[in-house]
Structure 1
Amino acid sequence: MRICFVGDSMVNGTGDPAYLGWVGRVLQDERRRGIELTGYNLGVRRDRSDQIRARWRAEVEARLPAEFEGRVVFSFGANDAVQEIPSAATLGHAEAILAEARACWPVFMVGVVPIETQGARGRCGALDRAFASLCDRLGVPFVSVFDGLMATPVWRDEVRAGDGAHPAAGGYNRMAEIVLASSAWQRWIRSAA
């Protein structure tokens, strides 16, 4: 199974001294559970939803030829929130991305992470809830990480000690745990494994 993880710096794992981020940790855990995976990290630092919409398909098609089982995981939105992109625009991009992707591959979405500045944090939370509704409407499996990360001192402490947005290894480990523990992820990853 080949999985493309498409998104922003949180997908990329920016700030993690081990260069794994949550994506690398999810892949490691699934490999330990016996699922043979090839993962492609297509996270680009500072990418907004419009930039992801412009690039995702060509990047994914190059890595998921028809003869292999392919899947796509999306996670983005924090940069839209920080840059105060209107939520209607972000949701429009997300809907177009998800609808197009799910016509070709099984798709999963991981919600928006909290960013430490108060205004951005509120916008991230609102966008996360809107993504949950959008995914429910489109039939795309979704896991929210926002509240779980807000309740995690290691996430908040590492973000504050770093650049104010990205955690170190402990925060990404906690994010991976939230994804891996979700029933939506468990059903999705095992649906054809």
Structure 2
Amino acid sequence: MEDRKLRIAAVGDELLAGLGDPRALGWLGRVLARTPQDGMTVESFSLPCPQEGTEGLAARWLEEAGRRFADNHENRLVIGLSGRDIEFGLSTARSRLNLANILDSATQRRLEVFVVGPPPTLDPVQNRRLGELNTAFADVTTRRKHLYVDTFSPLLNHEQWRQDLAANGGSPGQAGYGLMAWLVLHRGWFQWLGMDSPE
């Protein structure tokens, strides 16, 4: 039997790039390093854009990700969401609509999408808004039968996460990205790829 061939295009902001990670892997690099390739070839293309919200993401994802897809591969899309929309003054309704448009367009192209929600910050006021955004993003994604990983809720009061942010100027470092990767790996990544979870 011929090996499966997967192409993964990943879009998001600087968290997708692993900014601030001394190992330069970020959460995506850690996840891919733990993804077995027995019987399949996984090609991943990371396409981060610093300080990007959902409007920028909606405007660019198809042109950039589409150039990485191939007719003879199973093409998949990973979206790493951030809380930038709060800084940009977007309403939760507008953020929902932007993500919905991306997912609807991906669905029309028969792309399976894996969405990773925004993680919490150290700012309680921003976290209240982030909690609303996270709930909205999760609802939009699951209604469209795509997979959503909530990083906000499990990390909100996680001591190691908060310590890592405090030590790195509000951004995750090695420990923080490791926690995000663990959540992705244990909340549907292997299911999404159509493979058994490794022991």
> Do these two structures clear the TM 0.5 threshold for a shared fold by scoring above it?
yes
Residue 176, structure 1, aligned to residue 181, structure 2: yes
Cα distance between partner residues in 2 of 1:43 and 1:8: 5
Larger radius of gyration: 2
2:3 maps to which residue?
none
Structure 1 unaligned spans of 5+: none
- Once the two structures are TM-superposed, the CA of residue 134 in structure 1 deviates from its matched residue by 1.0
> In 2 relative to 1, CA 117–83 (structure 1 residues): closer, same or farther, beyond 3 Å?
farther
The residue that corresponds to 1:189 in the other structure is 193
TM-score, reference length from structure 1: 0.91
Pairwise CA distance, 1:186: 2.6
Q: Are 1:30 and 2:31 an aligned pair? A: no
Measured against aligned partners, the alpha-carbon deviations of 1:138-186 in whole angstroms (never above 9, x if no partner) come to 111111111122243222111112222x21011101110011011x323
Q: Give the aligned CA root-mean-square deviation in angstroms.
A: 1.8
Are 1:73 and 2:101 counterparts? Answer: no
TM-superposed CA distance for 1:35, in Å, is: 5.0
Name the structure 1 match of 2:119.
113
Structure 2 CA distance for partners of 1:138 and 1:8, relative to 1, 3 Å = same
Distance in 1 (CA, whole Å) between partners of 2:128 and 2:177 is 21
2:5 pairs with 1:3: no
TM-score (norm 2): 0.88
Query: 1:39 maps to which residue?
Result: 44
Query: Residue 141 of structure 2 aligns to a residue in which SS?
Result: helix
Q: Which residue matches 1:137?
A: 143
Range with greater deviation from structure 2 (86-95 or 26-35) = 26-35
Q: Which letter maps to 1:28? A: A
For residue 55 of structure 1, report the CA deviation from its aligned partner: 0.7
The one-character-per-residue Cα deviations of 1:85-110 (angstroms, maximum 9, x if unpaired) are 21111111000011101222111111
Sequence identity (%): 31
Structure 2 regions of 5+ residues with no counterpart? Answer: 1-5
- Whose helix fraction is larger, Structure 1's or Structure 2's? 1
Per mean C-alpha deviation after superposition, the further-off stretch among 129-138 and 171-180 is 129-138
